[in-house]
Amino acid sequence: MNIIVSGASKGIGYEVALQAAESGHNVLAVARNAELLDLLVAKNELITALKVDLIEEECSQSIASWTNKVGKVEVLINNAGQLINKSFIETTVKDFKDQFNANIITAVKLTQAVIPFMNKSTHIVNISSMGGFQGSSKYSGLSAYSASKGGLSVLTECLSEELKEYGISVNALALGAVQTEMLENAFPGYSAPVSAEEMASYILDFALKGHQFYNGQILPVAIGNP
């Protein structure tokens, strides 16, 4: 299959891209950090790097160039994201804008760019968070992050309705605690029960098979809270 993964320069996105390529899939790894992307590409010849800031730049032409070589896109994993940990009183309007840009607008722009190259059976997987899952425990300092991830979840539900006539499925995985740099920023010193490699394996399996069973769903993937 042909798979696009954003936020692929480190953490979960890096592991998803690498595991997908190791399983024989063609991967377009999208991220801003050119140096880290180069390290990823060096690990497997099935990985192509797309070095782009999705907030600032357009990527349609680059995606078209890649699909001309490999064919239609079967899986899009919107994993790009950012976390700001500040009390609500200290969080500025700019912080909120930055969080929504990083956690929603990146997914909007990449999805819009990829839709023309999708198959009828394409599966879009948005990586959300338990922080944005309705009814879950919420934590001080994560208001902007959680609100943006909640927005991504609602966007998932909307897209599933808009794109179902094209045969495209859209789901979101609301991840709990995973041992990543982002988790360390949110909960310093906390040891997560799941590694980035383990979560990546689950995400990849869901991306390849989950659309057979789900569409428009926000699925919690957490042993506990967070």
User: How many other C-beta atoms can be found within 10 angstroms of the C-beta atom of residue 194?
Assistant: 20
pLDDT > 90 in the chain, percent: 81
Position 222 confidence tier, pLDDT thresholds 50, 70, 90: confident
Instruction: Copy the structure tokens of residue 215.
Output: 């569409």
d(CA 30, CA 207): 17
Supply the pLDDT for residue 44. Answer: 96
Supply the pLDDT for residue 104. Answer: 97
Element (H, E) at 12: helix 11-22
Catalogue all structural domains in the chain, each as residue range(s) with its CATH number: 2-221 (3.40.50.720)
Asked if pLDDT for residue 193 goes beyond 90, the answer is: no
Q: Which residues pair with 49 in a beta bridge?
A: 29
For the question of whether the overall pTM of this predicted structure is more than 0.85, the answer is yes
Least confident of 28-32, 90-94, 106-110, 222-226: 222-226
Asked if pLDDT for residue 38 goes beyond 60, the answer is: yes
Q: Are 214 and 169 in contact (CB under 8 A)?
A: yes
- Mention every residue, 6+ apart, whose C-beta is less than 8 A from residue 150: 128, 131, 132, 133, 134
Mean pLDDT of 32-44: 95
Supply the pLDDT for residue 139. Answer: 83
Most confident of 71-75, 135-139, 174-178: 71-75
Supply the pLDDT for residue 149. Answer: 96
Mean pLDDT of 119-135: 92
Element (H, E) at 154: helix 143-163
d(CA 210, CA 106): 23
Supply angle C-alpha 151, 155, 157, rounded to 5: 120
